[in-house]
Amino acid sequence: MTTPLHPLHDGTGRLEVGDVTVPLQIAASLRARTRGLLGRSSFRGALLLTPARSVHTLGMRIPIDIAYLDRHLRVVDLHTMKPHRIGRPRFHAHHVLEAEAGSFAQWGIAVGIQLTPQP
Protein backbone atom coordinates (compact mmCIF):
# COMPACT_ATOMS: atom_id res chain seq x y z
CA MET A 1 0.00 0.00 0.00
CA THR A 2 1.37 3.42 -0.90
CA THR A 3 1.23 6.41 1.38
CA PRO A 4 -1.65 8.85 0.76
CA LEU A 5 1.01 11.56 0.30
CA HIS A 6 2.80 9.95 -2.64
CA PRO A 7 4.34 11.70 -4.52
CA LEU A 8 5.48 14.09 -1.80
CA HIS A 9 6.15 17.74 -2.47
CA ASP A 10 6.62 20.80 -0.30
CA GLY A 11 3.33 22.62 -0.22
CA THR A 12 0.12 23.35 1.59
CA GLY A 13 -3.19 21.68 2.10
CA ARG A 14 -5.44 20.80 4.97
CA LEU A 15 -5.74 18.01 7.47
CA GLU A 16 -9.10 16.48 8.37
CA VAL A 17 -9.26 15.32 12.01
CA GLY A 18 -12.82 14.23 12.72
CA ASP A 19 -14.94 17.32 12.13
CA VAL A 20 -11.95 19.70 12.47
CA THR A 21 -10.11 21.06 9.42
CA VAL A 22 -6.53 22.17 10.09
CA PRO A 23 -4.28 24.16 7.70
CA LEU A 24 -1.36 21.90 6.74
CA GLN A 25 2.10 22.66 5.42
CA ILE A 26 4.13 19.78 3.99
CA ALA A 27 7.92 19.81 4.30
CA ALA A 28 9.19 17.07 2.00
CA SER A 29 12.52 18.54 0.88
CA LEU A 30 15.62 18.46 3.05
CA ARG A 31 15.66 22.26 3.12
CA ALA A 32 12.01 22.54 4.25
CA ARG A 33 12.40 19.77 6.87
CA THR A 34 15.56 21.40 8.24
CA ARG A 35 13.84 24.78 8.55
CA GLY A 36 10.65 23.32 10.06
CA LEU A 37 9.16 25.67 12.67
CA LEU A 38 12.49 27.25 13.62
CA GLY A 39 12.37 30.97 14.37
CA ARG A 40 8.58 31.19 14.57
CA SER A 41 6.95 32.67 17.65
CA SER A 42 3.57 31.20 16.70
CA PHE A 43 2.17 28.85 14.09
CA ARG A 44 -1.37 28.33 12.88
CA GLY A 45 -2.06 24.81 11.69
CA ALA A 46 0.29 21.85 11.41
CA LEU A 47 3.56 21.03 9.68
CA LEU A 48 4.13 17.54 8.27
CA LEU A 49 7.80 16.54 8.00
CA THR A 50 8.28 13.70 5.57
CA PRO A 51 10.21 11.52 5.70
CA ALA A 52 11.15 11.96 9.35
CA ARG A 53 11.68 9.75 12.40
CA SER A 54 12.86 12.32 14.92
CA VAL A 55 12.82 16.04 15.63
CA HIS A 56 14.54 18.60 17.78
CA THR A 57 13.48 21.97 19.16
CA LEU A 58 16.94 23.55 19.22
CA GLY A 59 16.50 27.22 18.37
CA MET A 60 12.72 27.13 18.72
CA ARG A 61 10.84 29.81 20.61
CA ILE A 62 7.71 27.84 21.47
CA PRO A 63 6.88 24.36 22.80
CA ILE A 64 5.38 22.07 20.17
CA ASP A 65 3.20 18.99 19.95
CA ILE A 66 4.80 16.11 18.05
CA ALA A 67 2.91 13.22 16.46
CA TYR A 68 4.95 10.35 15.05
CA LEU A 69 3.12 8.73 12.14
CA ASP A 70 3.53 5.38 10.41
CA ARG A 71 3.76 5.10 6.62
CA HIS A 72 -0.07 5.19 6.37
CA LEU A 73 -0.35 8.35 8.52
CA ARG A 74 -1.67 6.59 11.61
CA VAL A 75 -0.51 8.25 14.86
CA VAL A 76 1.85 5.87 16.68
CA ASP A 77 3.24 8.19 19.38
CA LEU A 78 2.61 11.69 20.79
CA HIS A 79 4.77 14.10 22.76
CA THR A 80 5.02 17.76 23.67
CA MET A 81 8.53 19.17 23.48
CA LYS A 82 9.83 22.33 25.13
CA PRO A 83 12.30 24.52 23.21
CA HIS A 84 15.97 23.44 23.09
CA ARG A 85 15.38 19.69 23.35
CA ILE A 86 16.44 16.74 21.19
CA GLY A 87 13.88 14.00 20.63
CA ARG A 88 14.90 10.38 20.30
CA PRO A 89 14.17 8.68 16.98
CA ARG A 90 11.07 6.52 16.59
CA PHE A 91 12.19 3.81 14.18
CA HIS A 92 8.60 2.77 13.45
CA ALA A 93 7.74 6.32 12.33
CA HIS A 94 7.90 7.54 8.73
CA HIS A 95 6.48 11.04 9.16
CA VAL A 96 6.27 13.64 11.95
CA LEU A 97 3.46 16.13 12.46
CA GLU A 98 4.24 19.31 14.43
CA ALA A 99 1.97 22.03 15.84
CA GLU A 100 1.95 24.56 18.67
CA ALA A 101 1.70 22.87 22.06
CA GLY A 102 -1.92 22.19 23.01
CA SER A 103 -3.16 22.01 19.42
CA PHE A 104 -3.43 18.23 19.25
CA ALA A 105 -5.70 18.10 22.30
CA GLN A 106 -7.96 20.77 20.75
CA TRP A 107 -8.10 18.92 17.44
CA GLY A 108 -8.61 15.46 18.95
CA ILE A 109 -5.36 13.92 17.72
CA ALA A 110 -4.54 10.79 19.72
CA VAL A 111 -2.51 7.60 19.32
CA GLY A 112 -4.24 5.27 16.86
CA ILE A 113 -6.03 7.96 14.86
CA GLN A 114 -5.71 7.83 11.08
CA LEU A 115 -4.93 11.26 9.61
CA THR A 116 -6.23 12.32 6.20
CA PRO A 117 -4.48 15.17 4.39
CA GLN A 118 -6.37 16.96 1.62
CA PRO A 119 -5.07 19.22 -1.18
pTM (two decimals): 0.87
pLDDT at residue 38, rounded to an integer: 66
47 pLDDT tier (thresholds 50, 70, 90): very high
| In-domain check, residue 2 | no
Residue pair 25/35 in contact by the 8 Å Cβ criterion: no
What CATH number corresponds to the domain at position 62? Answer: 2.60.120.1140
Which range of residues forms the domain containing residue 88? 11-111+113-118
Instruction: Report yes or no on 1 lying in a domain.
Output: no
Computed over every residue of the chain, the mean pLDDT equals: 86
Assigned domain for 68 exists: yes
Name the most confidently modeled range: 8-12, 21-25, 101-105. Answer: 101-105
Domain contains 6 = no
- Report the half-sphere exposure of 57 (CA within 13 A, side-chain side): 21
- Within a domain: residue 23? yes
Q: How many domains does the chain have?
A: 1
Please tell me whether residue 22 adopts helix, strand or coil conformation: strand
Whether 69 is in a domain gets the answer yes
Contact 109, 78 (CB under 8 A): yes
Taken in order 82, 90, 8, 115, the sign of the CA dihedral is negative
What pLDDT does 40 receive?
66
- Asked whether residue 4 is domain-assigned, the answer is no
Average pLDDT over residues 65-70: 96
Does residue 54 form part of some domain?
yes
